[in-house]
Amino acid sequence: MKRKIIFILLIVVFSSIELADKFYVFVDGLNMRSCPSVNCSVVKTLHFKDVVESVGKAEYTPSFDWIETEEGWVALQYIDYLPMKINGNLPVDFDMNYSEFPLPPEYEPDDLVEIPEEYCIKSGLKLRKEAKEALIQMLNAAKKDGFDIAVASAYRNWFYQRNLYLSAIKEHGPDQTAVAKPGRSEHQLGLAVDLARKDKECLLLKCFKDTPEYKWLVENSYKFGFIQPYLKYNILYMEEPWHFRYVGKEDAKEFYETYIKGNDALQY
């Protein structure tokens, strides 16, 4: 009899371990609530880098998605899995989009260099050295073909990304797919750029897709090691025709041949 109880207890312990996930809070002053709604009473207030553990239950409501912890409910929009542990710089082909864990707030590549202002629509933009050199070759080649393309955004640190994300969910609601959570943006890798026409027409707008500059990038960016990860039918974010990510020439060619070449339906 006693053995049976121990056995049952073990199953309970193991099943709860299997269901539970540890999350960290990436904002300051997040309210844990007694039930999954902003109208429920506040159990306690959580702070940046606090860790909460899910008991495996989630509720999806029109305002927020919630997970249950031992003490109360927390909105999923303000937490994420514990960040990955990173030593040194990540490889240039690292795939942020398929990573289970976010980048830690401290992750900043140590080979970031400034992109010369003549290639940008604002000053002080940075990329990792290898990506910056490939970018300049690409923008020079575009110019030679008659297209004046400039950088609108490049490396963004974790805290800057958090501000963008919080503004986006405040303005467009928790289901917005325009801005990545902090630690989930390719811009923090120092390998992504948002490109625009130098005259800023269609800057970060869908109509950039209709410009000859965009068409040039679609056909040529892979030759310089850049891909366009957020195509029309990607499942992560809204379509972002301006967002290009450096992965190196070999991977970019493979991406081009798989998703772009002869596959106009995906692209246009």
Specify the residue for token string 């366009």.
228
- Residue with the CB atom nearest Zn ion in the bound state: 243
Q: Nearest distance from residue 3's CB to Zn ion, in Å?
A: 58
Residues 176-235 that bind Zn ion (CB under 5 A): 194
240 is catalytic: yes
Q: Nearest distance from residue 154's CB to Zn ion, in Å?
A: 9
Q: Nearest distance from residue 181's CB to Zn ion, in Å?
A: 14
When computed from its CA atoms, the radius of gyration of the chain, rounded to whole angstroms, is 22
Q: Nearest distance from residue 194's CB to Zn ion, in Å?
A: 4
Instruction: Give the contact letters, 79-118, x = binds to Zn ion (CB under 5 A), - = no.
Output: ----------------------------------------
Q: Which is nearer to Zn ion, 194 or 213 (CB)?
A: 194
Q: Which is nearer to Zn ion, 128 or 243 (CB)?
A: 243
| Cβ-based neighbours of 176, under 8 Å, separated by 6 or more | 168, 169
Instruction: Give the contact letters, 235-264, x = binds to Zn ion (CB under 5 A), - = no.
Output: --------x---------------------
Neighbours of 251 (CB within 10 A): 17
Which residue of the set 240, 250, 254, 257 is catalytic? 240
Q: Nearest distance from residue 242's CB to Zn ion, in Å?
A: 7
Specify the residue for token string 């309970």.
12
Q: Which is nearer to Zn ion, 126 or 243 (CB)?
A: 243
Residues 16-45 that bind Zn ion (CB under 5 A): none
CB 132 within 8 A of CB 189: no
CB 228 within 8 A of CB 243: yes
d(CA 21, CA 67): 10
Q: Which is nearer to Zn ion, 237 or 259 (CB)?
A: 237
**With contacts defined by CB under 5 A, how many residues of the chain interact with Zn ion?**
2
Q: Which is nearer to Zn ion, 65 or 237 (CB)?
A: 237
| Cβ-based neighbours of 22, under 8 Å, separated by 6 or more | 51, 52, 53, 54, 81, 82
Q: Which two three-digit tokens encode residue 156? A: 């963004």
Cα 6 → chain centroid: 44
Q: Which is nearer to Zn ion, 181 or 243 (CB)?
A: 243
Q: Nearest distance from residue 230's CB to Zn ion, in Å?
A: 8
Residues catalogued as catalytic: 240
Residues near Zn ion (CB under 5 A): 194, 243
